[in-house]
Chains A and B, each alone.
Chain A
Amino acid sequence: MMPRLQRARRVLALAAPVLIPSLGMAQDIKAGDLVIQQPWARATPGGAQVAGGYLTIINHGTAPDTLTGGSADVAARFELHTMAMKDGMMTMRPSGPLTIPPGGSVTLSPSGTHIMLSDLKHGLKQGDTVAGTLTFAHAGTVPVRFEVEGIGSRGPATAPDRTPAMPGTDTRR
C-alpha cells in the first residue's frame, strides 16, 4: 500500500511542473495562417497611465500579413511603439503597422517594438488577465488575453526557458 502511494506521489510530483503551469498558460491562438503566442503585459507602478504588451506572431502562410492595431478593455488607446537608443537618449515612437513575412515571425518585446496601452482605466496587477484584440490586414480581428507579469518583467512566466512555478508558490489567480 505504502510503496504504491509513494509511487503515485512521485509520479504526481514529476508531472506537477508540467501540469501546473499549463493551467495558467495562454494557449497559442490560431487565426488563419497566423499563430499568436504568449500575449503578456507588464504590471504597472502606482498611478501609471501606460502599460506595455508583448507577444509573438508566426506567419505559416505564403503571403505577408500586417498587424495594424488592436484594443484592450483596460486602455482607451492601443498603439504600436518602438524603443530605440538615439543620441544617448532612450526614445519611443509610434512604429506604424507591423508586417509579418510569410514563413517568418515577429516578437514584440520590452526595449523593442511593443504594444503601448495608454490612458489605462486602472493599473495592471501581476496575475491579472487583460482581454483585448489584435487587428490584421488579412486575418481580421483576433481576440487575445494578455497575462499580466511583474513590473519590469523581461518575459512571460510561461516561457519555456523559465523554471515553472511549483504548486503553492504560484501567484496566479
Chain B
Amino acid sequence: MIKRTTTGFIAGLFVITLMAIGVMYAVQQQQGRMVMGGPFALEDMNEKPVTQADLLGKPTAIFFGFARCPDTCPTTLLALTTAMRDMGAEADRLNVVFVTVDPSRDTPEMLRAYLSSFDARIRGFTGTDDQVAAMARAYHVAYRRVPLEGGDYTMDHSAAVLLFDRVGHYVDAIPFGEDDVQMRQRLTALVHKGTKQARS
C-alpha cells in the first residue's frame, strides 16, 4: 500500500514536472518571438518611407552597419552578395536589408553609392536617430557612437545578420565571419523554411 502510494506520488510529480517544463518552454518560445523584431518606420535609400509591412510576405535577412566601417560591413555585404549571386533567382524570394546605425552620415544618397558596390537586390534603410534607435531596440541590436581624435567618430555595432520568416518572426542569426558558402546555405534554408510555413 505504502509502496503503491509512493510510486503514484513519484509518477504524479514526474508528470507535473514535465508539464511545467512544457509550459515554460512554450512561454519562452512565445516571448522570444514577441520581443525580437516587429514594426519600424524608416526611409529607404530611394527616399521613400518604409515599414515592416514592406518586408512581410518574404523572409528577410537584416544587417545593421555603417558606410565608414572598414571591415565588418564590406566583408558581410560581400558574403551576402556572393551568396545571392550563387542563389540566382532564388534570392529574389528574400528581402536583404542593410540598416545604417550612423544615419547622420549615411544619407539615402550615401547608401545608394555604397550599396552600388554590392548585389543590386540589397536595400538600404536610414532614418532619424530616433527611428533607427527604435528599430535597433526592437531588433535587439546594440550600437554606440565612439568619439575618435580630431572630432571624428566610429560606431560599435552588433555584427550578425538577423533572419526573419515571411510573417516577421525571428528565426535566428548568422554570426559575423561566416563565409559566402555558409551564408548561401543559411539564406537558402530561410527561403525554403518560408515556403514550407506558407504551405502548412
Contacts of A50 in B (CB 8 A): 68-70
A-B contacts, 11 listed (Cβ < 8 Å):
A45-B74, A45-B116, A46-B112, A46-B116, A52-B70, A89-B143, A92-B69, A116-B70, A152-B75, A152-B78, A152-B79
Q: Does the CB pair B114–A45 fall under 8 Å?
A: yes
Q: Does the CB pair A45–B118 fall under 8 Å?
A: yes
A90 to chain B, nearest CB (A): 4
Contact partner of B110 among A42, A47, A116, A151, CB < 8 A?
A47
* Binary contact track A74-117/B, C-beta < 8 Å → 1, others 0: 00010001010111111111100000000000000011001010
* In the complex with contacts A85-B176, A111-B177, A152-B79, A52-B114 CB distance below 8 A: no
Contacts of B142 in A (CB 8 A): 87-89
Apart from A48-B68, A81-B70: 9 A-B pairs, beta carbons within 8 A? A42-B70, A49-B67, A50-B70, A88-B142, A90-B72, A90-B159, A92-B70, A152-B74, A152-B77
Contacts of B157 in A (CB 8 A): 89-90
Contact partner of A48 among B114, B148, B152, B176, CB < 8 A?
B114
A55 to chain B, nearest CB (A): 15
Q: Using a Cβ cutoff of 8 Å, how many contacts connect chains A and B?
A: 91
* Binary contact track B95-138/A, C-beta < 8 Å → 1, others 0: 00000000000000010111111100000000000000000000
* In the complex with contacts A46-B117, A50-B68, A111-B177, A90-B156 CB distance below 8 A: yes
- Report if A72 contacts B (CB, 8 A): no
| A residues at B contact (CB < 8 Å) | 42, 44-52, 77, 81, 83, 85-94, 110-111, 114, 116, 118, 150-152, 154
- Report if B158 contacts A (CB, 8 A): yes
Contacts of B177 in A (CB 8 A): 111
Q: Does the CB pair B78–A88 fall under 8 Å?
A: no
B149 to chain A, nearest CB (A): 7
**Docked pose: A46 CA to B113 CA in angstroms:** 5
**Docked pose: A89 CA to B176 CA in angstroms:** 10
Q: Is the interface of A mostly helix, strand, loop or mixed?
A: strand
- Report if B71 contacts A (CB, 8 A): yes
How many positions in chain B have a CB within 8 Å of any CB in the partner chain? 34
Q: Which residue from chain B places its CB closest to the CB of A110 in the assembled complex?
A: B71
* In the complex with contacts A45-B118, A47-B110, A90-B176 CB distance below 8 A: yes
**Docked pose: A42 CA to B114 CA in angstroms:** 15
Q: Does the CB pair B70–A86 fall under 8 Å?
A: no
B58 to chain A, nearest CB (A): 25
Q: Does the CB pair B156–A86 fall under 8 Å?
A: yes
Q: Does the CB pair B158–A88 fall under 8 Å?
A: yes
Which 9 A-B residue pairings sit nearest by Cβ, starting from the closest? A152-B78, A47-B113, A45-B117, A46-B113, A90-B159, A89-B156, A91-B156, A46-B116, A90-B72
A108 to chain B, nearest CB (A): 12
Contacts of A93 in B (CB 8 A): 146
Contact partner of A89 among B74, B115, B158, CB < 8 A?
B158
**Docked pose: A9 CA to B150 CA in angstroms:** 59
* Binary contact track B44-59/A, C-beta < 8 Å → 1, others 0: 0000000000000000
Q: Does the CB pair A83–B72 fall under 8 Å?
A: yes
- Report if B28 contacts A (CB, 8 A): no
**Docked pose: A118 CA to B143 CA in angstroms:** 21
- A42, A83, A88, A90 interface centre (most CB from chain B within 10 Å): A90
Q: Does the CB pair B67–A47 fall under 8 Å?
A: yes
Q: Does the CB pair A42–B113 fall under 8 Å?
A: no
